[in-house]
């Protein structure tokens, strides 16, 4: 099998030098979404690390994060409309879930994502739950309200 043939070669004879358009965007620029939310790059990096480090601990629990859970957690992070947030801490939960926590002093907002079970959000003051709700796919507004209260927006 040879890869040298007319169908595999570039068609330099069809290129018109006067009509070339160059893309001004560099591949090294930050994606627009991450540029609008500086904390998001760190959150996605931590999310991937949680999935890579997850394992089955006999007698303790299953800390392996599935792709579905990872995707749902990514959608949740992408749905947050606040630009300036502290970088969240992420950890694996037994049962294949992910916990995302934003802290501000003694107060915190915790988001728990479980495979096939949904998303829970809790507002904590000094490790004591003040309010906790389960969210559906289109109910992420409550999470944004908790984050606004956390940062006094």
Encode pLDDT of 107-152 as tens digits. Answer: 999 999 988 878 999 999 888 889 888 887 667 788 888 888 888 8
C-alpha to C-alpha distance for 128 and 137, rounded to whole angstroms? 26
Q: Is 119 exposed, middle or buried (0-12, 13-18, 19+ CB in 10 A)?
A: buried
What is the model's pTM?
Answer: 0.71
Q: pLDDT digit string (tens) for 44-86?
A: 889 888 888 877 676 677 788 888 888 888 888 888 888 888 8
């Amino acid at each position: 099998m040879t890869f040298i043939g007319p169908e595999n070669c570039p068609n330099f004879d069809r290129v018109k030098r006067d009509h070339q358009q160059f893309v001004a965007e560099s591949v090294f620029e930050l994606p627009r979404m991450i540029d609008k939310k500086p904390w998001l790059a760190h959150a996605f990096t931590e999310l991937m690390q949680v999935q890579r480090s997850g394992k089955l601990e006999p007698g303790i629990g299953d800390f392996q994060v599935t792709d579905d859970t990872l995707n749902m957690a990514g959608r949740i992070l992408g749905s947050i409309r606040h630009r300036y947030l502290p970088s969240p801490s992420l950890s694996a939960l037994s049962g294949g879930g992910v916990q995302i926590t934003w802290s501000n002093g003694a107060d915190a907002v915790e988001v728990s994502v479980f495979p096939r079970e949904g998303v829970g959000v809790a507002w904590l003051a000094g490790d004591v739950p003040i309010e906790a709700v389960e969210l559906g796919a289109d109910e992420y507004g409550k999470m944004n309200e908790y984050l606004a209260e956390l940062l006094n927006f």
